Each structure stands twice: as C-alpha cells, then as structure tokens.
Amino acid sequence: MYFVTNNSTKSRAGYKKKFDSLGLDVPAEEIFSSSFAAAAYLEQTKFKDTGKKAYIIGEVGICEELDLIDVPWIGGPDDKGKEPDMGPGGMLHHDEDVGAVIVGFDRHVNYYKIQTAQLCINENPGCEFIATNLDAVTHLTDAQEWAGNGSMVGAIKGCTGQEPTVVGKPSPLMIDYLVDKLKIEKSKICMVGDRLDTDVLFGTDNGLKTCLVLSGVTTEEKLLGEDNKITPDYYCDSINAFFAKEPASV
C-alpha cells in the first residue's frame, strides 16, 4: 500500500512522523507527497546539473525534499512576512541563478513571493514553472473549505502567462514513478481517495482502477449528479468497507 497526497506542506519524513503519532508503521518510502514529486521531477530532468537553484513558494515539505537531493533553494518559509519596496523608484531584485520556481501550498503567501516568482520566470532565461498541484480548495479546518494551491498557482499564471508543469495528482508523474519502481502493470493498481477531480481522475487518466470513499469532500449526491463527468470503478462510505466481513455488492 502506498499513500499519495497532493499536500506539499510536509516531506515524506514529516508524514512519517504523523503516521507514527497515529500508531501506524508506514515506511517513508511508501509515502508519495507532491513535495517529493517536485524533487523527483527535478531529479529526473537533471536540474542539479544546470548549477541553478529553485525558488519556492511553499512550506517546509518542499525545502526538505530538495535538501535530500542536494538542490539549492531560496524562498519558502524564509520569505514569510517580507514586503517589497513599492515606494517611488522601488524595485525588487531577484536572483538571476534561479532556474525553477516551485509553487506549493503556502499559508503565508504574499506579494513579495509572487513578485519574486514573476521576475524569475519572466526574466531568467529557461526558468521552469512547476506546480505541486492545482487543487481549487483544501480543508484546513472542518468548518469550511479554504482556497487551495490552485489559487496560488493561478496568481503566478496570471502574471507570467505561463502554464506550469504539474507534478501532483492527477499528473502521471507519481504513478509512472511507482510503476517503474514496483515493476507492476497499471491495471493492477487501485487508487483510493475522496476527491473526484484529483484522486479518481488520477486513476482514470492513468489506467488504474479507482475507488471513491464518501468520507471526505465528495458526497454521494455529487457523485451521482448529472453534472459529474468523472466516474470511479467503485465507491463506498469509507475505507472501513475494505475490512467488512460481508462480501461487497458490486
């Protein structure tokens, strides 16, 4: 079993600590976060060989994963609370050695970070724009939905006119990495998740079996509604159904 998440705020080591706190023994190698996916993409494209550094809009998860592959980075939590000089003649000086801008979920996103990303992408030749995911909303609390990473990626798209390389779900990068690692056919993998537009789409777009659980963001009403065009192979109330004593009705 592998755990795949679009949440880039933690690294694999960070998620392992969370699993440990829940009493679950999950090896870090079986956790695939979009922060790891960003690092894996840079590794696959031999970014380190360019001698460039990455600029991060995001939290510590991306930083920790880049450290593991020795890719230098700036930004991230270090740019929390910064403000550019916007007085007469004011300007923000950016690092011309940045060769990639990575945008992940950032609870402290600000105008300084957006302007830095804009300058790097628009003015540094060949600078790549990478997004951990395009999730429209996320669930920081159980009281309401919150703007997701799609809003932060959208800000950078808007000021650069560039489309990002997306490394998280439903992009194929994660599943291609797993298939190569495990030497297994895609048709023998089942993606289980609670979101139609990421989890189930990730599965259907990449040739996997899919199972939607109704214990998260998707209701049965939404799943079966006329407006929904994404259909899982199976759905159930929660992951507890996997451990039911009675055979499932299909």
**In this structure, what token pair is assigned to residue 68?**
């593991």
pLDDT at residue 248 is higher than 80: no
Cα 79 to Cα 113: distance, rounded to the nearest angstrom: 7
Question: What is the side-by-side order of every strand in the sheet holding 128-131?
Answer: 73-75, 53-57, 98-103, 128-131, 165-166
What pLDDT shows up at residue 55?
A: 98
| Average pLDDT taken over every residue of the chain | 94
Distances (CA, A) of 1 to 25, 31, 156, 185, 235: 12, 9, 35, 15, 18
What pLDDT shows up at residue 182?
A: 86
The percent of residues above 70 in pLDDT, for the chain, comes to 98
The CA-to-CA distance between both ends of the chain, in Å, stands at: 22
Tell me: the pLDDT tens digits for 46-97?
A: 999 999 999 999 999 999 999 999 999 999 999 999 999 999 999 999 999 9
Q: What is the pTM of this model?
A: 0.91
The DSSP-derived string for the chain is --EEE---SS-HHHHHHHHHHTT----GGGEEEHHHHHHHHHHHTTGGGGT-EEEEES-HHHHHHHHHTT--EEEGGGGTT-----STT------TTEEEEEE---TT--HHHHHHHHHHHHHSTT-EEEES---SEE-SSSSS-EE-HHHHHHHHHHHH--PPEE-STTSTHHHHHHHHHHT--GGG-EEEES-IIIIIHHHHHTT-EEEEETTSS--HHHHHSTT-----SEEESSGGGGG-SSPPP-
Tell me: the pLDDT tens digits for 151-208?
A: 999 999 999 999 999 999 989 998 998 898 889 999 999 999 999 988 999 999 999 9
What pLDDT shows up at residue 243?
A: 82
Distances (CA, A) of 117 to 1, 45, 57, 110: 36, 20, 8, 11
pLDDT at residue 117 is higher than 90: yes
What pLDDT shows up at residue 142?
A: 84
Tell me: the pLDDT tens digits for 197-224?
A: 889 999 999 999 999 999 988 999 999 9
Mean pLDDT to the nearest integer, 27-53: 96
Cα 248 to Cα 250: distance, rounded to the nearest angstrom: 6
What pLDDT shows up at residue 247?
A: 64
